[in-house]
A and B are shown apart, each in its own frame.
Chain A
Amino acid sequence: MHEKSIAQLSAGLKAGEFSSTELVGHYLGRIESTDESLNSFVTVSRDLALQQAEAADRRIRKGNAGPLTGIPVAHKDIFCTDGVKTSCGSRMLDNFIAPYDATLVSRLGDAGAVMLGKTNMDEFAMGSSNETSYYGPVRNPWDADLVPGGSSGGSAAAVSARLCAGATGTDTGGSIRQPAALCGITGLKPTYGRVSRYGMIAFASSLDQGGTLTRSAEDAALLLQAMAGFDPRDSTSAEEPVPDYAATLEADISGLRIGLPKEYFGEGLDPGVGDAVLAAVDEYRGMGAGVVEISLPNTRLAVPTYYVVAPAECSSNLSRFDGVRFGHRCEAPKNLEDMYMRSRGEGFGAEVKRRILIGTYALSAGYYDAYYLKAQQIRQLISDDFRQAFAKVDVIMGPTSPTTAFAIGERTDDPVTMYLSDIYTIAVNLAGLPGISVPTALVGGKPAGLQIIGNYFQEAKLLNVAHRLQQATDWHLAVPEGM
């Protein structure tokens, strides 16, 4: 059963070939036998999953099932789940049982999807390798010595290893697309504001966006359909209509104008990854798409700009973790300040502390203009680059990540090298655009991702373009050995 896509599983459930209870039991068994070595789940909500599966089976029998009814999914542990531990990969929230559901969680639940559990992640989504998690690193299903990418590394590994039919993630600087690329799956980061941030533990509020990690663009369309849409509980939720994503998956793409930014194919790009990306672009040429070189001249400024904006917003957002209302509180505090300092010092790991400190510094008196204001100005220039590009092309293509998956431990001593893992994904968040990573040819036996960037609210176009590639090639069907 675990080799089937969401659409195939949905058809099998409706035809009575198997029940959701059987399907969920099968996936729970796979998690039990496989995940000890991968560490992709922080929590497996076995009893709740079986209850939800029974409810899904009743709904299917009554004939009012939707395309996601009875489908087993996993949520990144950044999404609040009522009554289920929501750790955000941090000691700070190791004891946190969320008192409500995130909108994304309740929407998928209303659609009948079954939650298998909560996936491992970089602490507070700060990382590109899933090595900053309090619960230990996640291993890449393609090679246990390699990272799965991050921060949605547990979701990516779980989907890649067929431990769930699909998963949710969040993307602040590449945290869906980069792990999707490194694990050989499809990762969609929607337009800023497309998916509600309510109940999604905040890292950098002007960049954070929830999305999907799946085996195909077709599966991503099914999940996004249930997740997307206006939510009055998120003050930056977009009041834009949600199109029928499945309806346009097969649309003809002849005449599609593809832009290849020259800055995405320069120094630092692994030549094998570059060739794999260009092989995918050639497939599009074969389908009648036109390819032109474009320029995004401020690309090199994206990482420096991000490491002001994201830490600044993180230092504000994470001030809520003070040991008063929820989360970790230190033992025997001497006074209120001691309680704040030690609760936070003990609760946060090294990378989260670095970002809080950088953000605090950038926002402190006398430094605001030089750092935060300057960064928001450059952010506008980066956004203008994309605006000018989309006047000439329909989509932008390039690599998702400059390399394939790297070794566990290889970059942990050097934060700046780690930050540069996200060089091709970060600008998309700064501009608020949607992007998708789809598997292209393996490079030395390891997955590599093609990134497709669209204009605002063009998720249907991205899914269509990605789906056409997946109809024409079998790159997305490659499975890690033994999975």
Chain B
Amino acid sequence: MSLDRSEVAKIAHLARLEVTGGELDAVAGDLSNILDLVEQMNGVDTAGVTPMAHPLHMAQRLRDDVVTEDDRRDRYQSIAPSTDAGLYLVPKVIG
């Protein structure tokens, strides 16, 4: 399996991850090599095999629907890049 520059650019956009034009060829080569490794899976007959959902086959635990955490907004926002009045600030979204 080999990926080209445009496919890598599309995947990078899906991941919201900047990959510059100068990096695209090298990244495409690396990803293609990794996919070649991964494709060793193709020769295995997995018909009827239940995919593993959990290594110990544990069910998801449930808990009572009550508040268990205290309000730590100020502490958590103290490390944010930009906040105002308890809100996180980002570049303008609506024109």
Contacts and interface: CB of A to CB of B under 8 A. Distances in A.
A250 B58 CA distance: 32
Interface string B1-37: 0010000100111111111100000010011011111
Contacts of B54: 206, 236
Contacts of B12: 357
Contacts of A435: none
Contact of A300 (B40, B52, B53, B75): B40
Contact of B33 (A329, A340, A416, A430): A416
Contacts of A325: 76, 80, 88
Interface string B49-89: 11111111010110100000000100110111110000010
Given A301-B40, A371-B38, A415-B34, A99 B75 contact: yes
Interface string A376-420: 111111010000000000000000000000000000001110010
A266 to B, nearest CB: 16
A430 B81 CA distance: 37
B14 A431 contact: no
A128 to B, nearest CB: 14
A106 to B, nearest CB: 15
B51 A192 contact: no
A340 B16 contact: yes
A42 B39 CA distance: 37
B63 A376 contact: no
Contact of B90 (A303, A339, A414): A339
A96 B39 CA distance: 38
B37 A304 contact: yes
Contacts, number: 163
A380 B79 contact: no
A236 B79 CA distance: 28
Contact of B15 (A100, A329, A360, A419): A360
Contact of A192 (B38, B56, B90): B56
A323 interface: yes
A211 to B, nearest CB: 15
Contacts of B46: 374, 377-378, 381
A33 interface: no
B90 A324 contact: yes
B34 A235 contact: no
30 contacts: A96-B79, A192-B55, A206-B55, A235-B61, A238-B56, A304-B38, A307-B38, A319-B16, A326-B76, A326-B81, A329-B82, A334-B91, A335-B93, A336-B90, A338-B91, A339-B91, A341-B16, A341-B18, A342-B18, A344-B18, A345-B20, A354-B31, A357-B31, A360-B11, A362-B38, A374-B44, A377-B51, A379-B52, A380-B51, A414-B33
Given A193-B58, A307-B38, A358-B31, 7 more contacts: A96-B79, A324-B80, A325-B88, A333-B91, A358-B35, A360-B14, A379-B51
Interface of A: 95-97, 99-100, 191-193, 206, 232, 235-236, 238-239, 298, 300-301, 303-305, 307-308, 315, 319, 322-327, 329, 333-342, 344-346, 348, 353-354, 356-358, 360-362, 364, 371, 373-381, 383, 414-416, 419, 430-432, 456
